[in-house]
Structure 1
Amino acid sequence: MNTPSAVAIPGTGGRPPRLAVLLSGSGSTLQNLVDQIQRGDLRAQIELVIASRPDAFGLVRAQQAGLRSQVVARRAFPSEDAFNDALHATLEPLDVDLVILAGFLSRFQLRGRYQYRVLNVHPALIPAFCGRGFYGLHVHRAVLAAGVKVTGCTVHFADDEYDHGPIIFQECVPVLDDDTPETLASRVQAVERRLYPAAIRLWAEGRLEVRGQRVVVLPERPYESPR
């Protein structure tokens, strides 16, 4: 049996990672990251917010936080490839460390350059209730309709498929008998607010190692005083 080769994530060498946040809707994930950065709980710098829809409320949140934002509208392009050409052209001059998918409803193509540099959060336990069309309350309606007892959220490295790639974190959330899509979403989002910044911190600290489809969290490195 062949053991998959390990890919160590180098991190940023102690400096705050430079982020680009891609969104399509309300921007609640963006707001969580902004709040964490402002409180000092997350050392990171958001260089740009890109919205795939001009009416995304996430653009308002970006403006309120004093962040640079730009619309790259999916509907303005005849194909997914052309749309991604525009996304990559927008990102290239910024030299960001990480692309953060935050309710981004289009597929971001890695194109070789961004392997293990794109993170996504999904409001279910991948590979369940995921893929194209599973977003927002659609996910939680499907969970309730299926009658499952447990759902949760997943933070993972994105690849070229929807809601797919090596999983960094998963955490379960119980489904209650009196849950509605809205109440379930609220409890799942509370977990997302903890796990997504934690994954960004581990990436920046170089404490993630990808072994095939598995992600191993490495122990914290001991501090070494300069000689």
Structure 2
Amino acid sequence: MKNIAILASGTGTNAAKIMDHFIGNPEVFVSLVASNKETAGVLDEAVERGVPTAVFTNDQLNDEEFMLNMLRGIDLIVLAGFMRKVPTFLLEEFEDRIVNIHPALLPKFGGKGMYGKKVHEAVIEAGEKESGITIHLVNEEYDEGKILFQESVPVKQTDTPESLAMRVQKLEHEHFPKIIQKLVRSL
């Protein structure tokens, strides 16, 4: 049995899909949902499913002893809307075992400050014909880790950032749990 921790800063729609995917799974157990925001909706999603939660400050995120203690026994860290840079000590401790999802086809439209609606606005403004999701390992640079999976959707001439976001989010919910399961099997 492999244990995963989900780090998230927001409402938790991806985290909810991941938790639901692994309920009763004999290979993978979501053993922790942690957030740097005590009012994050993801914590409610976890409580609703009986998954333990933790809240940490941004200072604690950079406290090696605190974070490694909180993540003791974790095999894989999943970033699901986590809006902070992962500190180097976690990247070293969990080398190739931190995975993230980005709402665009990297390497385009990635990097610091490119998240959520900002990504979809940039895709539409650039006149792209397609967008989608990228699931990747996390390294020292925002959105530059090894790409594990990409899936695309067409960008329609009538798209707004909100309509494009809905189609991209559907891909996130469909594929992120499956790619996590494949990754866990390779550990």
What TM-score results when the alignment is normalised by the length of structure 2?
0.90
SS in 2 for 1:89: helix
Q: Name the CA distance, whole Å, in 1 between partners of 2:151 and 2:106.
A: 11
Q: Name the CA distance, whole Å, in 2 between partners of 1:141 and 1:65.
A: 34
Q: Which residue of 2 aligns with 1:109?
A: 87
SS in 2 for 1:179: coil
Work out whether residues 149 and 176 of structure 1, in 8 Å CA contact, stay in contact via their aligned partners in 2: yes
Q: Name the CA distance, whole Å, in 1 between partners of 2:12 and 2:27.
A: 20
Work out whether residues 153 and 192 of structure 1, in 8 Å CA contact, stay in contact via their aligned partners in 2: yes
SS in 2 for 1:173: strand
SS in 2 for 1:128: coil
Question: What are structure 2's unaligned runs of at least 5 residues?
Answer: none
The runs of at least 4 consecutive aligned structure 1 residues that moved more than 3 Å come to: 79-82
- Once the two structures are TM-superposed, the CA of residue 141 in structure 1 deviates from its matched residue by 1.2
- Once the two structures are TM-superposed, the CA of residue 110 in structure 1 deviates from its matched residue by 4.6
1:62-119, CA deviations, whole angstroms, 9 ceiling, x for partnerless residues?
A: 1111111111122xx2x9744x65433321xx31110000000001125221111100
Q: Which residue of 2 aligns with 1:170?
A: 150
1:61 to 40, 45, 57: 45
Question: What are structure 1's unaligned runs of at least 5 residues?
Answer: 1-14, 208-227
1:191 to 150, 171, 182: 171
Work out whether residues 18 and 45 of structure 1, in 8 Å CA contact, stay in contact via their aligned partners in 2: yes
Q: Which residue of 2 aligns with 1:87?
A: 67
What is the RMSD of the two structures over their aligned residues, measured on CA atoms?
2.0
SS in 1 for 2:179: helix
Higher RCO (C-alpha 8 Å, min separation 6): 1
Within the alignment, does 1:203 sit opposite 2:187 as a pair?
Answer: no
Q: How many percent of aligned residue pairs carry the same amino acid?
A: 35
Structure label with greater radius of gyration:
1
Q: Name the CA distance, whole Å, in 2 between partners of 1:48 and 1:110.
A: 21
2:57 to 73, 98, 103: 73
| Higher share in helix | 2
Q: Name the CA distance, whole Å, in 2 between partners of 1:48 and 1:39.
A: 15
SS in 1 for 2:93: coil
Q: Which residue of 2 aligns with 1:19?
A: 4
